[in-house]
Amino acid sequence: MKRVYFDHNATTPVHPEVLDALLPYLKDAWGNPSSIHWAGRDPRKAIDGAREQVAQFLGCSPVEIVFTSSGSESDNFAIKGTALAKRSRGNHIITTQVEHPAVLNTCRYLEKEGFRVTYLGVDQSGTIDLEELEEAITDETILMTMMYANNETGVIFPVEEIGRIARQRGITFHTDAVQAAGKLPLDVTKLNCDLLSISGHKIYAPKGVGALYIRRGVRVVPLIHGGHHERNRRAGTENVAGIVGLGKACEIAMRDMDTEVAHIRSLRDRLEKGLMEKIPHVRLNGHPEKRIPNTTNLGFDFVEGESLLLNLDMLGIAASSGSACTSGSLEPSHVLVAMGIPPELSHGSVRFSLGRFNTEEDVDYLLENMPPIVERMRSMSPLWNEAEKKGMFMALEEK
């Protein structure tokens, strides 16, 4: 069976160059990088090199990079670590309703621990209102955490401006840049952020490695205590191969960004346009321009997204209904709900996220196979037949 992968926001394949770079650290250079003897030297050198690669990618100094196990750990570290570090200064945190669960659930946890959290809403295009943000700030506000690009819709937040506001008010600003990495320029100075999370496996490095940028002088209480690894900020013997992979992936992302973004954007647009032409009553969720170039989130009226995904899977097409972390849950996507999309419509939404190894044939395979599935499923939907009769679509489209 043909296999087509359109779920790069969930994870990406390991780039062959990344694999080549990291394999020696599983085979030959297996030493502990903290050891003073010969066995530790190569792994130590490799980690230092990787740290430089990541620092270059983010436009910061290597000492400002802490390696972690994942994007989720980076988010937890940034948010809990700041909350604990600044507890005496205040107890208010501002975030948004559309963050990744790694941020949202960390904030909910902190609420139980006595912090107050403001969850800013978004408009129909999925973006926040900066005036509302400014109004939410109080003297107690110690942290703002807002994502750079949304994992479900790809919508980009105005991080630079958010960062500027935070800096003016002396509030620590963290951004989850897991989905932006490799797709948008990541210059921490321009972005005005104090903390920034990235994840390896979203940028063609392996799973199990991430990084947190911590601006020099910003204090973050560690999550994991133990040895003196990562300059006392994150204990645990380093995942050397993973770190080397992440470094290499950052180098490749920087090197290939311009060409890859153009390639992926043209495929994404072809996919999006094709589906909208071939299938009636398809809506784009999220801002059409202000979004990362690889993502399209489409609503298919009167079809259940879950069944649609299983049908696609049976044809070898991988897509998703939102974040992989919430799959298996029929709760309407919290992102689409926050955008004001009614649950019955958000249920029929599917996210296609493309990557550098996708081809035109992949897109054509989808364009050929998906319309008949939607048509068949709609023909079985009593709601669809009723709506067609009553001309309900007109009403929906006017909304």
Partner 1 sequence: MPAHLFCLKAMKNRRVIVAMSGGVDSSVAAILLKRAGHEVIGISMQLWDYSEKEDLSATRGSCCSLEDIWDARRVAETIGIPFYVLNMEKVFSKEVVDYFVKSYLTGETPNPCVKCNSEIKFNILLRKAFELGAEYVATGHYARIVKDASGRYHLLSGVDRTKDQSYFLFSLTQNTMAHVLFPLGELTKTEVRKIAKEAGLKVSEKGESQEICFVEDGNYRNLLAERAGTREGRIVDTSGTLLGHHTGLFGYTIGQRRGLNIKDGKGPYYVVSMDTERNELIVGRKEELLSCGLYARELNWIKEPPAAPLTVEARIRYRHSPVDAIVTPRTDGGAVVRFLSPQGAVTPGQAVVFYRDEEVLGGGWIERAIRESDEKDAEELCNQDPRVQGKPVRFHSP
- Active-site residue, 325 included: yes
**For residues 287 and 268, what is the distance between their CA atoms, to the nearest angstrom?**
15
Contact partners, residue 328, CB within 8 Å, separation at least 6:
none
**For residues 53 and 172, what is the distance between their CA atoms, to the nearest angstrom?**
25
In whole angstroms, the minimum distance from the beta carbon of 213 to partner 1 comes to: 32
In whole angstroms, the minimum distance from the beta carbon of 35 to partner 1 comes to: 37
Say whether residue 105 binds partner 1 (CB under 8 A).
no
In whole angstroms, the minimum distance from the beta carbon of 344 to partner 1 comes to: 13
DSSP string for residues in 153-212: T-BBP-HHHHHHHHHHHT-EEEEE-TTTBTTB---HHHHT-SEEEEEGGGTTSPSS-EEE
DSSP string for residues in 188-200: HHHHT-SEEEEEG
Near partner 1 by CB under 8 A, which window of 16-24, 241-249, 327-335, 354-362? 327-335
User: Which of 120, 323, 80, 82 lies closest to 218, judged by CA?
Assistant: 82
Near partner 1 by CB under 8 A, which window of 21-29, 39-47, 211-219, 311-319? 311-319
According to CB under 8 A, which one of 20, 160, 313, 360 is a site residue for partner 1?
313
According to CB under 8 A, which one of 310, 359, 368, 397 is a site residue for partner 1?
310
Say whether residue 307 binds partner 1 (CB under 8 A).
yes
Say whether residue 314 binds partner 1 (CB under 8 A).
yes
Say whether residue 304 binds partner 1 (CB under 8 A).
yes
According to CB under 8 A, which one of 48, 52, 187, 306 is a site residue for partner 1?
306
Say whether residue 262 binds partner 1 (CB under 8 A).
no
Say whether residue 376 binds partner 1 (CB under 8 A).
yes
Contact partners, residue 242, CB within 8 Å, separation at least 6:
22, 200, 205, 206, 208, 209
What are φ and ψ of residue 334, in 5° steps? -65, -25
Say whether residue 377 binds partner 1 (CB under 8 A).
yes
Tokens of 368: 């050929």
Say whether residue 380 binds partner 1 (CB under 8 A).
yes
Q: Which residue numbers are catalytic?
A: 325
Interaction site with partner 1 (CB under 8 A)? 304, 306-307, 310-311, 313-314, 328-330, 376-377, 380
